[in-house]
Amino acid sequence: MIATLTANALRFITLMMLQVLLLDHLDIANGWMVPYLYVLFLLMLPFDMPAWALLLTGALTGLIMDLFSSTPGMHMSACTVMMYARINLLGWIAPREGYEYGMRPTAPRMGLAWFITYAGMLVLVHHLWLFFVEVHRFDALFGTLLRALLSAAFTLGLCLLAQFLTSAQERSRA
C-alpha cells in the first residue's frame, strides 16, 4: 500500500514537473499540437480505485495544472470528465476474466492494442473538452477539432513512449 502511494506520488510529481517546466513551453506546429503528458498519471491509476476517488484525483490533478498554467477550471473540468469517461470505458473494454486486483493499466501488461484503445479514447475526451472549453464557441469547430485530434495523437505518442521507456528500465533492473 505504501509502495503504491509512493510510486503514484513520485509519478505525479515527475509528470507534473515535466509538463510545467518543459512541455508547456513547446510551440509545435504553431500551437496545433499541444502535448499534455500529465494525463498519463491519471491513465495509470489502478483499476480497483473507487469512482469517487478517481473523480477527486482527476479534479485535484487538473486543479494543480490550472494553478501552474493560469487556466482557472479548464484542466480541472477536463480531467474530471476524463475520469468519468474512464469509469464507463473500463467496463466496456474489460477482458473476460476482468481486471486483477491492484493492477495498473499499462501497455506492457495489457497489450499495445488495449492500451491504445483505452488511452486514445480518454486522451481524446480530455483534449476535446479542454480545447472546446478554451475557445468557448463552435464557429471554429473544425479548427478546434483538428487541434484536439493532433494534440491527442501527439500526447498518446508521448504516453506510449513513456510507457515503454519506464518498462525497459524496470526490466533492466530485474
Domain ranges of the chain: 2-173
* Domain 2-173 top-level CATH class: mainly alpha
Residue 141: pLDDT band by 50, 70, 90 thresholds?
A: confident
> How far apart, in whole angstroms, are the C-alpha atoms of residue 127 and residue 166?
24
Phi/psi of residue 28, nearest 5 degrees: -100, 125
The answer to which of 8-12, 55-59, 97-101, 154-158 has the lowest mean pLDDT is 97-101
Across the range 27-38, mean pLDDT stands at 90
The per-residue pLDDT for range 68-88, each reduced to its tens digit, is 999 999 999 999 999 999 999
Q: What is the mean pLDDT of the chain?
A: 90
Residue 87 in grid coordinates: 469509469
Question: Does 137 score more than 70 pLDDT?
Answer: yes
